Amino acid sequence: MAIRRVRIFSLFERFWHWSQMLLIMTLMFSGFGLHGFHHLLDFKQAVDLHTLAAFLLLLLWAFSIFWLFTTRNWRHFIPTVKGMWQVLRFYSFGIFQGEHHPYRKAYWRKHNPLQALAYLMLKIVLFPLIWISGLVYLFYFLWRDIPHATQVLDGVALVHTGAAFTIVVFVMIHVYMLTTGHSFKEHVMPMINGFDEVDLTPEEEAYLLKDQPEVLG
């Protein structure tokens, strides 16, 4: 295995990541305003901003899902038990002892087993939950005449808020993890220029040298 600088994040992935971050921050800001945590916006402004950011994020995710499946990059989000215990041990104990991270990025697997599991749960559980509950709440006028609609709406709002706060916790942990191990800059730079250090097999290195030399740093 050879360690090489490889562009593992495409231009679209980086655009997706930073656009998603901006829109999620906007949703958090407007959502906190709706719940009275701040009064920087009036209620109508917060609703309008929240709705606009939500629809833009839905559009971004629609393109992202299409891209993931057409490029087969969905494979990077399939978790594996191989190496999971070592990664869990590192984050619960080894990281505080100055140990090296047990996982090395591979060309065919950008995320360690714990990351892959967390991102998969985010994409197939939390995101659908918050979008379905949000759209059901937004279009309440279409089903407000059903029996017990008000009680159902309260339940939908509770689910939406619960999912939202869970995503807030995920974002906080995500940002915290950027401050561990290597420097903050080293963690962030791959999502700016696309390049990171990756373990390549001789076959992968030969393939990239021959067919995609531009991805090698």
Q: What percent of the chain has pLDDT over 90?
A: 56
Residue 177's φ and ψ, nearest 5 degrees, are -65, -25
pLDDT score recorded for residue 1: 63
What pLDDT digit, counting tens, does each position of 139-196 carry? 999 999 999 999 999 999 999 999 999 999 999 999 988 887 677 888 889 899 989 8
Q: What is the pTM of this model?
A: 0.88
Q: Which amino acid is at 82?
A: K
Identify the pLDDT of residue 146.
Answer: 93
pLDDT at position 217:
74
Span 8-24, pLDDT tens digits: 899 999 999 999 999 99
Inform me whether the pLDDT recorded for 2 exceeds 80. no
Look-up: residue for tokens 């994020």? 57
The residues that bridge with 190 in the sheet, in sequence order, are none
Is the separation of the CB atoms in 212 and 4 below 8 Å? Answer: no
Please tell me the predicted confidence (pLDDT) of residue 100.
Answer: 81
Domains of the chain from N-terminus onward? 2-215 (1.20.950.20)
| Interval 117-133 mean pLDDT | 94
Distance CA 63, CA 153 (A): 30
Cα separation, 71 vs 78, whole angstroms: 15
Contact, 192 vs 2, CB < 8 A?
no
